[in-house]
Amino acid sequence: MSWNKVAVVGAGLIKFGELFEQSYEQMAAGAFEAALANVDKGLDRRSIDAAIVATQRGTLWGQEGIGGNTVPSALGLSGIPCTRVENACPTGSDAFRIAAMVVASGVHDVVLVVGVEKMRDKSAQEGLLARAASGHPLYNRGETAPVLFAPFATRHMHEFGTTPEMLASVAVKNHHNGCLDPYAHFQNEITVDQVLASAPVCRPLRLLDCCPQTDGAAAVILTTAARAHEFTDKPVYVAGFGVATDHPYLHEKSTFVGLPATTAAAERAYAMAGVGPGNMDMAEVHDCFTITEILDIEDLGFVDKGKGGPASIEGETALDGRIPVNPSGGLLAKGHPIGATGVAQLTECWWQLREEAGERQVAIRQGYALQHNVGGRGSGVAVVNILTRNRT
């Protein structure tokens, strides 16, 4: 028996990419209009009771970090209650979870979640310099994201025989899927050989093992399960969700072949939804690096620990595989505009469950989809949301 108190009645996003020509607020407005346009029976924007803005790096990249303040006016919603939620890479997915609880609380009936992130207005160098200048505890010591994930790849290879080709197969699959997603940043096929020949970033991770820096925005509209049919005959329900934290420093890690926050978050979400990994028709998971998707599919229970590499290279996670993973192209091809990422993944799940995903549509058999992000210092936080088209 799933939670199912809250439904998603609209979702949409803007084309991800290098969006120098759009402001932060314009990106948010574009996503909001896309979500509104996807509400089957229409939804007057004056029906929106409250909003949550998901932005992670509002300050680092030159905004004030007060998107909760500036976004409503740009959306024609000035006056409404609006809050910014931040939770590292799961910022967007956690904002969705918070919004679902806001709706379930009975305080606000129709709640908008807008995930929006400007990643490209500053060069990577400027961003890093600004962070080092402000005393950032990791970046001023060179501890960038690839440096934090590479040891997991090394250890996974050591313990389970995972190969560079297996890692590469994740990037090849997700770039293929991205070619079928009009919203993806990258829409080009790549080969295993190209991945293996790309520049090393932090061994064993190479350039094409890493997600790009991408601007983007996505939005979803939530309401109570009771009111969902005012807006659509095809609502998608929030079956359950889970969040878990973990010790934030690498030296405190209990394992280097898995991310315990993911496992704990998934257990909570499955329990709340009354289902297990075998009930999922597809999943959008956090593939910031190829190794991360391999860890994810193990930690989420889709394959046994250590089997993520073979499962990937053998096509189990392909669009027509046993458990399709990242049909949207994932972070690797669609991009990772942090606050928008989780919201865009949820939009993909919404489309897939409604069987509106076009060429990248997967088979919907049991009616459940899973969305996942992991991030923060030492991958110390993970969020899992489970959606369903089943009413019960």
Which chain residues interact with a second copy by CB under 8 A? 50, 56-66, 68-70, 72-73, 77-88, 94, 97-98, 100-102, 104-107, 121-122, 126, 129-131, 133-138, 242-248, 252, 264, 268, 375-377, 380-381
Distance CA 152, CA 144 (A): 14
**Nearest approach, Cβ of residue 196 and a second copy (Å):** 33
336 catalytically annotated: yes
Token digits of residue 373: 């992000």
Q: Which three-class secondary structure state does DSSP give residue 121?
A: coil
Our answer to whether residue 89 is catalytic in this structure is yes
Active-site pick, 108, 156, 175, 336? 336
Please, what is the minimum distance in Å from the beta carbon of residue 62 to a second copy? 3
Residue 238 belongs to what H/E stretch? strand 236-245
Q: Which helix (H) or strand (E) holds 49?
A: none
Specify the residue, 324 or 380, whose C-beta has the smaller distance to a second copy: 380
Do residues 48 and 80 touch, judged by C-beta distance below 8 A?
Answer: yes
* Catalytic residue (one of 89, 179, 210, 211): 89
Q: Is 220 or 381 the residue whose CB approaches a second copy more closely?
A: 381
Nearest to 183 by CA among 222, 216, 206: 216
Q: Which of 316, 319, 329 is nearest to 188 (CA)?
A: 329
Given a contact cutoff of 8 angstroms between Cβ atoms, the answer to whether 210 and 352 are in contact is: no
Query: 66 or 363: whose CB is closer to a second copy?
Result: 66
- Alpha-carbon gap, residue 330 to 325, rounded angstroms: 8
Measured from the CB of residue 114, what is the shortest distance to a second copy in angstroms? 13
Exposed, middle or buried: residue 188 (CB in 10 Å: 0-12, 13-18, 19+)? exposed
| Tokens standing for residue 146 | 């690839």
Report in angstroms how near the CB of residue 366 gets to a second copy at its nearest.
Answer: 24
- Distance in Å, CB of 227 to a second copy, minimum: 16
Nearer to a second copy among residue 84 and residue 354 (C-beta): 84
4 vs 352 by CB, closer to a second copy: 4
Contact indicator for 373, 342 with CB cutoff of 8 Å: yes
Q: Report the DSSP pairing between strands 236-245 and 381-388.
A: antiparallel
Structure token digits, residue 249: 């420093």
In contact, 196 and 8? CB cutoff 8 Å: no
| First-to-last C-alpha distance (Å) of the chain | 6
> Which CB atom, from 49 or from 165, has the smaller least distance to a second copy?
49
Q: How far is the CB of 373 from a second copy (least distance, A)?
A: 12
The span from the CA of 342 to the CA of 375, in Å, is 12
Question: What one-letter code names the amino acid at 326?
Answer: N
Report, as residue numbers or ranges, the catalytic residues: 89, 336
